[in-house]
Structure 1
Amino acid sequence: MRERYLLGLTAVPFVVAAVLPGALLGGDEVSRFQDPDIIESSALAVVDGNLVTTNDSGDTGRVFTVDPSTGETTKVTQWSDDPTDVEALAPAGDGLVWVGDIGDNTARREAVSVTEVDVVGGRPPGPTYELVYPEGARDAESLLADPATGRLYVVSKGVFGGTVYAAPRRLSPDHANRLKEVGSVLAIATDAAFFPDGRHVIVRNYTEAAVYTWPDLVEVGTFGLPHQEQGEGIAVADDGTIYASSEGLRSPVLRISLPAQVRRAMAPPPTPTATPSSTTSPTPAPGNRVGKELPEETPGERSAWGWVLGGVLGLGIVLVLVRAMRPR
């Protein structure tokens, strides 16, 4: 009986995400995948103005390049005959994407992998790099590539919160590359992307998304996403436009806008103007972040996720303890 209650608690994040999505956003349909072979779009990227997606586990290793104005597939790039579980894409510049074979629902894979693939031209795929987690296998569906440095990051799909892991700055094709934990993000992460400024990232799950500062991973804001059949993909174009995709045959691609308070918080700090003064401002101590922090959210803008999840978990634990203490 105890096991049943504990198992039930693992479903709490899904329930909370479904009933408390925050400030739900609307979405404008900008395109719809027309290719009948795109049935489980599990990742999304924008490369040279094209939408790029891939099916998840069960398909061969292929990537679809799609014209956003028509939804028609313009190129299919075959990079592997037998991948394990492809779940993620990240722009790599110059017509390239990183393909993340990183899915691991049962958390049993000794290593996951990434491969650089040309989805616009005709160059052959680059080498495949193996990645290993520092403390055992993890399921993951999100891959990030820093637009400034090119460094890769994997985001785990944790039930109680995702973890961001950094790959080595230089990947080796000759041995496994050990990932390093760098921070935490929202639970059940299904995709993530950098904003063009390189100062923020967006991470989504099935019902909501969150924006974080980079590299500090301070939450700027959380908000509900438009309803989708099984929304999994998210991408940010060079002009800052955010796109969200979903699994399903001929599924739509939506354009979404950030809530006003999130946009304000993401705005770069104003450039100070020099003014004549008879007094000299004190120099901040080394490491002081005065003037560098993003504006804090007001209480009304903060997500209720933590409070609700904590309360439900606490109640569940109490129920387990009470039943365990009953006379048999």
Structure 2
Amino acid sequence: MSEPAAHRRRPDAGARSVPGRCVRAVALAGAALGLALGAAPPAAAAEEPVAPSTRCQVTDPRLAELSGLVDVGDRVLAMVDGGDQAAVYVLDGACQVVDVVTAPLDPYDPEDLAVGPDGTVWLADTGDNNATRATVALLALRPDGTTGLYRMTFPDGPHDAEALLLAPDGTPYVVTKEVLGASHVYRPATALVDGGTVGLADVGTVTVTLTGTPGGPVGRAGQLLVTGGAVARDGSRLALRTYTDAYVWPLAGSDVPGALAGEPVRVALPAAPQGEAVSFTADGSALLVAGEGVPGDVTLVPVPATTAPSSAAAPADPSLPELLSDGSSGVSPVTAGLVAAAVATALVWIGGRLLRRRPAAGPPRNG
């Protein structure tokens, strides 16, 4: 997403961001939950239109930079892309904050949220607008109240990434955000090390093309920028979203690269100023999507049951000026430059307040 010229993050990966209005400001999260979960393709043509509906509207100013969601039934976990405190927000069916759980982790730029098979909440601290970070990280918030910080390095230099796909076997996949639509997929090359650093391996590419769907903060380029990911609770499907569209693939076992090598079903999303968050509903029948800005809708988007996408010729690769044009007023030079550079576990909280005290000292800052 774009970043105001007045806000710049320090290049060292372990630094805090400057508080304030920033589309890539530091977000945080933190809390371990107590129940385990149950049990380069061409762009796909959109299925027959389905009617999305607004589940609820976010009005709490603390969620003005909402960037990650996980639906766990009658509660939704949410994280924000701004602030100076690690926090996970618990929302009820009316999108009201009913609890906030904090942790002592000091992240740099978290972008996405997932819940693992053992009930651990994972945050992808992978944002890097200016491509300067030496490492990115995964933050683990475990059911027993402990936390973990797992640093990773890209094999080919820094990338900005906003999507996390957590396979049913617990393997994390990070999907980059690329202005020309060819996003790379990475997973840890070796076992993660708490407090240590491991390399990432490039295991595939996801290619999307211009769709014509309106929305997003950066003109037509928003149709190509991957801003979030999700895996269905039953492990049957996975999804990636851009500012304007969602792409859904069938998933067999935990073979995320194999799934992404197929052709997805594309679902046009309702126009939104800056849509970033995506989650499957707890029953896997639909997507929940949301974005930055309050008031902001949390929208239920049905997904066609079929996994066989319609065929359509892919449009020609666009030039950067074409991407940055939305057919009307266009995008400022500053925004254009930045773009080019660029569940059930929470239900245990219903019975009472699980806000934990912040320890005097925590794990080292991500770096």
Q: Specify if TM > 0.5.
A: yes
Residue type of the alignment partner of 1:53: A
1:30 corresponds to: 55
Q: What are the Cα deviations for residues 65-107 of structure 1, in whole angstroms up to 9, with x where unaligned?
A: 111x221112212224642111110112455310111100011
The 2-side partners of 1:101 and 1:314 are apart by 28
2:359 corresponds to: none
Query: Rg larger in 1 or in 2?
Result: 1
Q: Note closer, same or farther for the CA distance 1:137–1:114 as it changes in structure 2 (3 Å cut).
A: same
1:246 corresponds to: 291
Question: Residue 21 of structure 1 contacts residue 224 of structure 1 at CA under 8 Å; is this kept in 2?
Answer: no
The 2-side partners of 1:222 and 1:48 are apart by 25
- Decide which of 239, 243, 266 is 1:206's aligned counterpart: 243
The worse-fitting range, judged by mean Cα deviation, of 189-198 and 74-83 is 74-83
Q: What are the Cα deviations for residues 202-246 of structure 1, in whole angstroms up to 9, with x where unaligned?
A: 100100111224431112222311112311110013311310011
1:150 corresponds to: 170
Question: Residue 52 of structure 2 contacts residue 299 of structure 2 at CA under 8 Å; is this kept in 1?
Answer: yes
Structure 2 unaligned runs (5+)?
1-43, 209-223, 323-367
The 2-side partners of 1:47 and 1:178 are apart by 31
User: Match of 2:63, SS?
Assistant: coil
Q: Offset of 1:40 from its aligned partner?
A: 0.4
Structure 1 unaligned runs (5+)?
1-19, 266-294, 317-328
The worse-fitting range, judged by mean Cα deviation, of 71-80 and 108-117 is 71-80
Q: Offset of 1:28 from its aligned partner?
A: 0.6
Q: Note closer, same or farther for the CA distance 1:169–1:91 as it changes in structure 2 (3 Å cut).
A: farther
Alignment of 1:1-328 (within 5 A): 22=46, 25-47=50-72, 49-67=74-92, 69-80=93-104, 82-93=106-117, 95-117=119-141, 123-147=144-168, 149-160=169-180, 161-168=182-189, 170-185=191-206, 186=208, 187-214=224-251, 215=255, 216=258, 217=260, 218-240=262-284, 241-259=286-304, 263-265=305-307, 295=308, 297-299=309-311, 302=312, 306-308=314-316, 310=317, 312-313=318-319
Q: Note closer, same or farther for the CA distance 1:71–1:199 as it changes in structure 2 (3 Å cut).
A: closer
- Counting matched residue pairs gives 253
The 2-side partners of 1:49 and 1:145 are apart by 22
Instruction: Decide which structure has greater helix share.
Output: 1
The 1-side partners of 2:156 and 2:320 are apart by 27
User: Match of 1:264, SS?
Assistant: coil
Residue type of the alignment partner of 1:243: L
Instruction: Normalising by structure 1, report the TM-score.
Output: 0.70
User: Match of 1:37, SS?
Assistant: helix
Q: Offset of 1:124 from its aligned partner?
A: 2.7
The 1-side partners of 2:145 and 2:67 are apart by 23
The 2-side partners of 1:100 and 1:43 are apart by 10
Q: Note closer, same or farther for the CA distance 1:134–1:36 as it changes in structure 2 (3 Å cut).
A: same
The 1-side partners of 2:120 and 2:73 are apart by 9
Question: Residue 140 of structure 1 contacts residue 155 of structure 1 at CA under 8 Å; is this kept in 2?
Answer: yes
The higher-RCO structure (CA 8 Å, 6+ apart) is 2
Question: Residue 164 of structure 1 contacts residue 183 of structure 1 at CA under 8 Å; is this kept in 2?
Answer: yes
The worse-fitting range, judged by mean Cα deviation, of 48-57 and 176-185 is 48-57
Q: Offset of 1:22 from its aligned partner?
A: 4.8
The 2-side partners of 1:236 and 1:72 are apart by 20
Q: Offset of 1:163 from its aligned partner?
A: 1.3
Q: Note closer, same or farther for the CA distance 1:200–1:57 as it changes in structure 2 (3 Å cut).
A: same
The 1-side partners of 2:282 and 2:189 are apart by 25
Q: Note closer, same or farther for the CA distance 1:150–1:94 as it changes in structure 2 (3 Å cut).
A: closer
Provide runs of 4+ in structure 1 moved above 6 Å. Answer: none
The worse-fitting range, judged by mean Cα deviation, of 126-135 and 222-231 is 222-231
Q: Note closer, same or farther for the CA distance 1:30–1:314 as it changes in structure 2 (3 Å cut).
A: closer
Task: Quote the sequence identity (%).
Answer: 29
The 1-side partners of 2:107 and 2:119 are apart by 22
Q: Note closer, same or farther for the CA distance 1:21–1:53 as it changes in structure 2 (3 Å cut).
A: farther
1:10 corresponds to: none
User: Match of 2:68, SS?
Assistant: strand
Q: Offset of 1:314 from its aligned partner?
A: 11
User: Match of 1:137, SS?
Assistant: coil
Q: Note closer, same or farther for the CA distance 1:49–1:179 as it changes in structure 2 (3 Å cut).
A: farther
Instruction: Normalising by structure 2, report the TM-score.
Output: 0.63
Question: Residue 64 of structure 1 contacts residue 73 of structure 1 at CA under 8 Å; is this kept in 2?
Answer: yes
